[in-house]
Amino acid sequence: MIAGLQPAALRGRTKLLVLQGTPFCNIDCDYCYLAERSVKARMPMAMVGESVRWIFENGLGQDDTTVVWHAGEPLTLPRAWYEKAFAVAAEVAPSSWNRRHAFQTNGTLIDDAWCAFFAGHKVRVGVSLDGPAALHDLHRKRRDGHGSHAAAMRGVAALKRNEVPFHVICVVTEASLSRSDALIEFFAGEGIVDVGFNIEEIEGVHTGSTLAVNDGRARFRAFFERAVERADELGISIREVRGVLGAAVELPNKDWPGNDQNMPFVLVTVTRDGAIYTFSPELAGIEHPEFGTLALGHVGSDSLADIIDGQVFQTQWAEISAGIAACARDCAYFPLCRGGAPSNKLGELGTFAGTETMACRLGQQEVAEVVLGRILKEMERSSVLAEAS
């Protein structure tokens, strides 16, 4: 593990800077982890500059650091606000910064004008879409209680019409488990070729999951196995498959042994009021009964050195480090997941120092078993064909 963490050891470490332009969301998903999704406040423009400046002045930023607008529905803010925000970010960042921005959106507000904005700024777009209406509308409802699927699909149609590349994140709930064919065939039918599956997680203010059932693990494996098989047939790329294959060939780093969510300052989140968080972005805004606030400091007043020396970071990092070490010692899947996500451990176990979670069992272990199992079957098939020839 990292001993005596110093700012110099973190130079160029931040891959993603998650900025909460607003915590407000125009829909009300019942599995959302955000406590303030009804709050319409927005990040002051000066705070946008402070946040980007903080990353680079403290040595964390790199030329390819991406600013991700998330933790609320970003498109509830006007395009003019983002035009100014992008200009402010470019103004305070080094000239070598590649000006990379990404939006994670529910898609309901996307129109041709937004597509022109995305294309003009080369914004990477992710759309949250849980499949056909029968699945999507179970959990992703508008604030009037009606489903949001029709509006989301209008946004998807606008992206396709304007040839704006995008990927989809699909939350898997208990209702999805018997619908793998319907899910993949829906995405294929809509011309969606890049899909990631997030399980319905227990984190933040979402304290339960429909997947936490006795046969959930076996059902999830059957779901994912069939989804991968059908996706392969229909030419859809699954994020989790790419992730397992990438982790399988990645060399371990004894000095930096974890993953993007449990290693400090790889991901940095700044909320609309300038509070700084690291590790899982889902930790932002949480008030924990034991830790109190998980905010490490403020972009306007605290340096990286101040934060590293502070009690809040020290407490979090000590527990997270203990959890990573326990996972490395006890879990055969550690080379693939590298210790899991702190937000899942805190949400499910009440501590960062824990090990296995439901999110780990489904989203890591079962995914790995399916992907690696397919590789082994293909190797066996190739061997048989080679012997026959």
Q: What is the pLDDT of residue 4?
A: 63
Chain segment 87-114, per-residue pLDDT in tens: 999 999 999 999 999 999 999 999 999 9
Chain segment 253-280, per-residue pLDDT in tens: 766 789 999 999 999 999 999 999 999 9
Pairing of strands 66-69, 16-19: parallel
DSSP SS3 for 171: strand
Model pTM score: 0.93
Q: What is the pLDDT of residue 1?
A: 41
Instruction: Please say whether the beta carbons of 115 and 159 come within 8 A.
Output: yes
Q: Which residues contact 105 (CB under 8 A, 6 or more apart)?
A: 73, 74, 75, 125, 126, 127, 128, 155
Q: Structural domain boundaries of the chain?
A: 11-249, 267-356
Low-confidence ranges of the chain (pLDDT < 50): 1-2
CA–CA separation, 225 and 230 (whole Å)? 9
CA–CA separation, 77 and 25 (whole Å)? 10
Q: What is the pLDDT of residue 347?
A: 93
Q: What is the pLDDT of residue 289?
A: 72
Q: Which residues contact 282 (CB under 8 A, 6 or more apart)?
A: 33, 201, 203, 204, 341, 343
* CATH superfamily label, 11-249: Aldolase class I (3.20.20.70)
Whose tokens are 């130079």? That residue is 11
